């Protein structure tokens, strides 16, 4: 099981500071969608250059023209690129094809997918690398989480790795770990804490002990 640090509400210098603080405890650094909107793929490039030993995920949430967008994110240094599960199959196939060419990985974000079980089976058959259930900020605000959806994808996904994101905190991490996803994605649960290093260290310990 791996830990991904999601950076959403920072600029590039702040992102570097944050990663420096917790780098020994995380496996993947996510350059979040808001950061890419504000700073462009330069954020991916600068973080990869500053921390070459960490994997970098570009949270592009691709919806169309996937081949081109995966190519650009790969050129910037991304190891993993996200695409939306609600995208057309043609778009998913384009992303997978380009990622294979660039020797990168595709993570599908299941945000807003209504039939999690059915779509997860289809995406698994399309050869994506990760399938991630995700409660976005807007549904977190009304008390939702992805625990049930995580159990669903764990049951039906046979080839892809499973991942979970959305409002995970130190207190809820043990419940997530019980479901045994391959990847746990945490943003505010680390970045919004006073002692980020201590929280990341404890999350790392819990995740590695499984
Ligand atoms: O993908 C995300 C969200 O849509 C904003 O871009 C976040 O990175 C993801 O939800 C993880 O962050 P937290 O919910 O703060 O853990």
Q: ipTM of this model?
A: 0.97
Q: What's the confidence (pLDDT) of residue 210?
A: 84
The atom number, within ligand 1, closest to the CA of 111 reads 4
Ligand 1 centroid distance, CA of 187 (Å): 6
Mean pLDDT, residues 104-124: 98
Mean pLDDT, residues 121-138: 97
CA distance to 12, 106, 127, 172, per residue, from 130 (Å): 26, 6, 9, 22
State the pLDDT confidence band at 194, using cuts at 50, 70 and 90: very high
Among 184, 182, 186, 185, smallest CA distance to 157 is for: 182
Which CATH number do you get for residue 121? 3.20.20.70
Q: What's the confidence (pLDDT) of residue 56?
A: 98
Mean pLDDT, residues 79-99: 98
Mean pLDDT, residues 165-179: 97
Q: If you average pLDDT over every residue of the chain, what do you get?
A: 98
Mean pLDDT, residues 56-66: 98
Burial class of residue 194 (count of CB atoms within 10 Å of its CB; 0-12, 13-18, 19+): exposed
- Into how many domains does the chain fold? 1
Query: Which residues' Cβ are closer than 6 Å to ligand 1?
Result: 6, 8, 30, 32-34, 59, 136-137, 165-168, 185-189
Q: Tell me which residue range forms the domain holding 169.
A: 2-209
Ligand 1 centroid distance, CA of 29 (Å): 12
pTM: 0.98
Q: What's the confidence (pLDDT) of residue 17?
A: 98
């Amino acid at each position: 099981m791996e830990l991904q640090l999601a950076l959403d509400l920072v600029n590039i210098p702040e992102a570097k500071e944050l990663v420096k603080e917790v780098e020994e405890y995380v496996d993947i650094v996510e350059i979040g969608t808001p950061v890419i909107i504000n700073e462009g793929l330069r954020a991916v490039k600068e973080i990869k250059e500053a921390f070459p030993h960490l994997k970098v995920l570009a949270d592009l949430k691709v919806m169309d023209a996937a081949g081109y967008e995966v190519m650009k994110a790969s050129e910037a240094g991304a190891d993993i690129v996200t695409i939306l599960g609600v995208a057309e199959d043609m778009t998913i196939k384009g992303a997978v094809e380009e990622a294979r060419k660039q020797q990168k990985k595709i993570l599908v974000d299941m945000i807003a997918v209504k039939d999690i079980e059915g779509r997860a089976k289809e995406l698994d058959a399309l050869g994506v690398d990760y399938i991630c259930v995700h409660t976005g900020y807007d549904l977190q605000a009304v008390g939702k989480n992805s625990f049930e959806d995580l159990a669903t994808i764990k049951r039906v996904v046979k080839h892809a790795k499973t991942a979970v994101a959305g409002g995970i905190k130190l207190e809820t991490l043990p419940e997530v770990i019980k479901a045994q996803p391959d990847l746990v994605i945490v943003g505010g649960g680390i970045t919004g804490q006073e002692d980020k290093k201590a929280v990341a260290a404890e999350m790392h310990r819990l995740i590695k002990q499984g």
